Amino acid sequence: MRIQHHPILGPMSQKPVVTFVFDDQPCEGRLGEPIAAALYAAGHKIHRYTQREHKPRGIFCMIGKCTDCVMVVNGVPNVRTCITALEAGMDVRTQDGSVAKRGFQ
């Protein structure tokens, strides 16, 4: 599920694999890639639930404009994961309205 050779950008560089936590489960991604890309590559497509109707949302624009990808990252809500670089050990949580679906510890 990860792009290896982009038709415009060419071959993607192979950054080191790092581990982070997604909703209390260990997950892997490439250092510096968008958090949203790492989650998509791992098969996770729901990033948040809407505040009023609790409908699932995931990546849409991938350029930081739509807010559908916001999640709670290291305890901070409303982080646009499509434009936030992945770091080792990050705590990434599905957002429910304006808070984490599961508590940040």
Taking the complex as a whole, how short is the minimal distance between the CB of residue 40 and ligand FES, in angstroms? 10
11 touches 5 (CB < 8 A):
yes
- Of 23, 42, 59, 87, the one binding ligand FES (CB under 6 A) is 59
Tokens 């792009």 locate to 3
- Residue closer to ligand FES (CB basis): 67 or 74: 67
Do β-strands 48-49 and 56-57 pair in parallel, antiparallel, or remain unpaired? Answer: antiparallel
Give residue 47's identity as a one-letter amino acid code. H
- Regarding 33 and contact with ligand FES (CB under 6 A), the answer is no
The one among 20, 30, 37, 68 contacting ligand FES by CB under 6 A: 68
